[in-house]
Amino acid sequence: MKLSEKNQRITASVTLAIDSKAKKMKAEGINVINFGVGEPDFNTPDNINSAAIEALEKGITRYTSATGLPQLKEAICEKLKKDNSLDYKPENIVVSNGAKQCLYNSLLAVCNPGDEVIIPVPYWVSYEELVKMADAKAVLVHSSEENEFKLQKDALLKAITPKTKALLLNSPSNPTGSLYNREDLEMIAEIAVEHGIVIIADEIYEKLVYDGEEHISIASLNNSIKDQTIIVNGMSKAYAMTGWRIGYTASNKEIANIMGNLQSHATSHPNTIAMYASAKALTDPQTSVEEMRKAFDERRKYMVEGISKIEGVSCLTPKGAFYIMMNISKLKGKEIAGKLIQNSMDFAELCLDKSHVAVVPGVAFGVDDYIRLSYANSLDNIKEGLKRLELLIKG
């Protein structure tokens, strides 16, 4: 039997593989500190849970529009106006099964076979695979730690060809925590408008920004770039709703219609109960979001300080999200705990096997000199995990 050649080229998520192994070890009674998967460790706030329970008790569990619950789409429009100074109507909004499906819908809506999609490196693990799934070609554009891992003008211009269709822009970034400022975004927007490039703006970490920095949506710069932008956002990170699987897009009506038609056949609409809960999350006071952001900020500062004390590794201070990229380039070629470290995968395996600390190898994000640590974890676990890493590296 000859199976799909295209889909056999899709690789498994390294982050979920690491997380799966860590959970298996935990189930076996091993005390594992998990810095791997990017998931808030907080419970979903009570007001959101209550809205879901109320929907269940009222029996509001039936089908809704393929593009999402009308009152949730209204709430999203209000949120975009209030937070991002963006005017959208419900017809511009498509609610999907998490931001990941939103990204896939976006790529399917704009790409034809052979089109090119620019992805700044480091990138979230699924970006390249999602582009492949849309029959397009990923064009990886490398950045440097010296430039805060942000896409630079010369590199962007060099990557553009007649086949360039879209640019995946993630700010704040997973895995780096980098944040694009207004000047950065204006540069990208000018080039995108000049070359007719669609911006797929992944803003899922929008609410998690630190040190007085500001998240700016590229679509808010002017009407030209707004028309070429698909905003991708969702409930998972800011509201601790990862398992609820609600994401959404905002785009021009033509793109939204294509995504709505795709979704109507692929999955229909997302979970009705989760959409009622999401509407409550967006319209209620945002107190819990700020409380979680402050907790992440405290952990971020502790982790950066802790890494700076470990000889042989270093990191930048992230401005958003809840990740740190730890530079391990000085460890490569060395033997640690009897294992020769040749790449980030070697180091990640060593951390889990010897120190029972789960980290994600940088190769999953296109940068082999780094590992990613998530500080979506308790302060006690962060302290213990860093202590174990320091002992391991010291030998």
Dihedral, CA atoms, 331, 337, 339, 342, nearest 10 degrees? Answer: -10
Split the chain (395 residues) into runs of 10 and give each run's mean pLDDT: 91 80 92 91 97 98 97 98 98 98 98 98 96 97 97 98 98 98 98 98 98 98 98 98 98 98 97 98 98 98 98 98 98 96 96 96 96 96 98 92
CB-based contacts of 243, cutoff 8 Å, min separation 6: none
Residues 6+ apart with CB under 8 A from 353: none
Span(s) in the chain for CATH 3.90.1150.10: 5-43+288-394
List of E strands, 143-187: 164-170
| pLDDT value of residue 17 | 78
What is the predicted pLDDT for the residue at 20? 83
Domain(s) labelled CATH 3.40.640.10 in the chain stretch across 47-283
Q: How many CA atoms lie within 13 A of 35 on its CB side?
A: 33
pLDDT of residue 14: 79
Q: Look at strands 323-327 and 370-374 and give their pairing.
A: antiparallel
Short-list 320, 23, 357, 295, CA closest to 148: 320
The pLDDT value recorded for residue 353 is 94
- pLDDT on residue 395: 79
User: 47-283 has which CATH code?
Assistant: 3.40.640.10
* 141 Cβ neighbours under 8 A, 6+ residues apart: 118, 119, 120, 121, 151, 155, 156, 158, 159
pLDDT for 256 equals: 98
Q: Cα–Cα distance between 215 and 264 in angstroms, integer?
A: 32
Entry field: residues in the chain: 395
What's the pLDDT at 38? 86
Quickly list DSSP for 98-146: HHHHHHHHHHHHH--TT-EEEEEES--THHHHHHHHTT-EEEEEE--GG
Fold of 5-43+288-394: Aspartate Aminotransferase, domain 1 (3.90.1150)
Report residue 346 as tokens: 């070697």
